[in-house]
Amino acid sequence: MNPLLLWFHKLGSPPYFYRLAGRLLPWLWALALAGLALGLYGGLFVAPRDYQQGDAFRIIFVHVPCAWMSLFVYFFMAANGFIALVWRIKLSETLAMAAAPIGAAFTFICLATGSIWGKPMWGTWWTWDARLTSELVLLFLYLGVIGLYHAIEDRRQAARAAAFLALIGIVNLPIVHFSVNWWNTLHQGSTVKLFGPSLIDARMLWPLLTMAVATKFLFAASLLSRARVDLLELESGKDWVRQIALAEEPRA
């Protein structure tokens, strides 16, 4: 077997993944916190005031990265759900289910901060605009996946059922993304473009992109630390988990 494939098989083994994730975690948290600090500093101190929105526009430095993450995490969850359903890899089930609460958190922040921005700028906390509605549906999809996972007794069956729901829900991702183009919405279109020049001042762009990278690291850190605990719970009958439990016994 070629070395990469061999490593991939090893990665799927819970004790190996547990140790590897444990080694990566401090670095991921450090990068996430450093990135957040830099991005928030840039967004609050360096970026100039918007000529129309004044300082209220600074909310985008938390709103937009979380909105991007709400889609990114969903895609990650559905992709792992697909792997779990097709190849029955236990680690993929764990990763998909660990991603769900993190995605829900990002989606909630996106909706809440958008609402807070909408009040002074649009004059309303909420409107049934295509972008807002599809993002709310995304939050319900996350909650549905989490709820289904916890409603079934057998952990592995639960993970597969929830992964199936996550896969169906992927149809909502293009709707969220293209809603601002497909419908005449109150929500503005994309300002930062992957292809072509962005319509934003460089002093506003770099803090935004820094926040986008920092939230990726934050997701990775939270994901690995959740997956580690879930593996401990899932494998609690196995010897390697027993050794960890006994080694960390608090001295009474």
Partner 1 sequence: MSEFLSMGGYGGYVWSAFAIFIVVLALDALAPLLKRRRVLRELRGRLRRTQKRNEENT
Contact set with partner 1 (CB under 8 A): 40, 49, 54-56, 58-59, 62-63, 66, 101-102, 105, 108-109, 112-113, 116-117, 119-120, 218, 221-222, 225-226, 228-229, 232-233, 236, 241-242, 244-246, 248-249
Report the candidate in 227, 74, 92 with the shortest Cα–Cα distance to residue 142.
Answer: 74
Helix ranges, the chain (H): 3-11, 14-41, 60-87, 90-122, 130-151, 155-169, 172-182, 202-234, 239-247
**Shortest spacing between CB 59 and partner 1, in angstroms:** 4
Nearer to partner 1 among residue 163 and residue 211 (C-beta): 211
Nearer to partner 1 among residue 26 and residue 54 (C-beta): 54
**Shortest spacing between CB 233 and partner 1, in angstroms:** 5
**Shortest spacing between CB 83 and partner 1, in angstroms:** 22
CB 184 within 8 A of CB 2: no
**Shortest spacing between CB 164 and partner 1, in angstroms:** 25
Nearer to partner 1 among residue 147 and residue 174 (C-beta): 147
HEC-encoded secondary structure of 161-185: HHHHHHHHHCCHHHHHHHHHHHCCC
Nearer to partner 1 among residue 62 and residue 85 (C-beta): 62
Nearer to partner 1 among residue 153 and residue 249 (C-beta): 249
**Shortest spacing between CB 125 and partner 1, in angstroms:** 11
Q: How many whole angstroms separate alpha carbon 109 and alpha carbon 107? A: 5
* Per-residue CA distances from 218 to 6, 14, 73, 138 (Å): 28, 22, 11, 20
Nearer to partner 1 among residue 181 and residue 236 (C-beta): 236
**Shortest spacing between CB 138 and partner 1, in angstroms:** 16
Structure tokens, 5: 């494939």
DSSP state of 54: B
Amino acid at residue number 129? D
Residues 6+ away with beta carbon under 8 Å from 117: 56, 59, 60, 63
**Shortest spacing between CB 19 and partner 1, in angstroms:** 15
Nearer to partner 1 among residue 85 and residue 149 (C-beta): 149
